[in-house]
């Protein structure tokens, strides 16, 4: 009988030692080093790190709209700070290039009809003659306009007003 009790005690001790070794028994709360600088102090708990600021490539003084043709992205800005974006865009195809430069918003129309191309231009914001931002398929290049998603075009239409500055960079 004593031998059985000793075996049970030995077995219990072996089980406790193996549980402690695998971390199943916690004697006190563990303090962990951050996984990376500024990372979470406790594994499994996300760090409270502010996201990196979004920066637009436009530098024109007072620009409220910014478009980069090389990456097909657009932003809305206020005093050099991004307020919306990036949002995906498409622009002019070969032979119908979108001009690069600094432009004033000329006018805007919520439901414009292109008499030149016979297509609707919802949320149109005109900034370079007959060139405008508006809803359109961003998978295809345009005849010079900046095509945007419905959300992007609506944001640009709501935010920009005649006289506001739009900058288009390569």
Helices (DSSP H) in the chain: which residue ranges? 2-22, 150-159
pLDDT (tens digit per residue) in 22-64: 554 444 455 555 555 555 556 666 666 777 888 999 999 999 9
**Average pLDDT taken over every residue of the chain:** 84
| Strand residue runs (E) in 14-160 | 63-68, 73-78, 81-90, 101-104, 107-114, 119-128, 131-135, 146-148
**Buried b / exposed e across 45-73, counting CB within 10 Å, b at 16+?**
eeeeeeeeeeebebebeebbbbbbbeebb
155-166 pLDDT, tens per residue?
999 999 999 999
**Residues designated catalytic:** 134, 145
Model confidence, pTM? 0.71
Return the CATH number of 63-169, one of 3.90.25.10, 2.40.440.10, 3.40.50.10420, 3.40.50.720.
2.40.440.10
């Amino acid at each position: 009988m004593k031998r059985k009790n000793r075996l049970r005690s030995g077995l219990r001790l072996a089980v406790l030692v193996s549980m402690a070794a695998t971390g199943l028994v916690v004697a006190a709360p563990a303090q962990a080093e951050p996984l990376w600088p500024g990372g979470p102090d406790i594994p499994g708990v996300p760090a409270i790190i502010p996201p990196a600021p979004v920066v637009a490539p436009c530098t024109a003084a007072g620009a409220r709209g910014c478009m980069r043709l090389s990456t097909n992205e657009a932003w809305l800005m206020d005093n050099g700070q991004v307020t919306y974006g990036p949002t995906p865009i498409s622009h002019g195809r070969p032979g119908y290039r979108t001009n690069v430069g600094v432009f004033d918003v000329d006018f805007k129309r919520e439901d414009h009809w292109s008499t030149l191309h016979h297509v609707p231009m919802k949320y149109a914001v005109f900034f370079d003659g007959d060139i405008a931002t508006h809803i359109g398929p961003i998978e295809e290049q345009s005849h010079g306009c900046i095509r945007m998603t419905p959300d992007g075009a609506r944001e640009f239409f709501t935010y920009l007003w005649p006289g506001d500055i739009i900058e288009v960079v390569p």
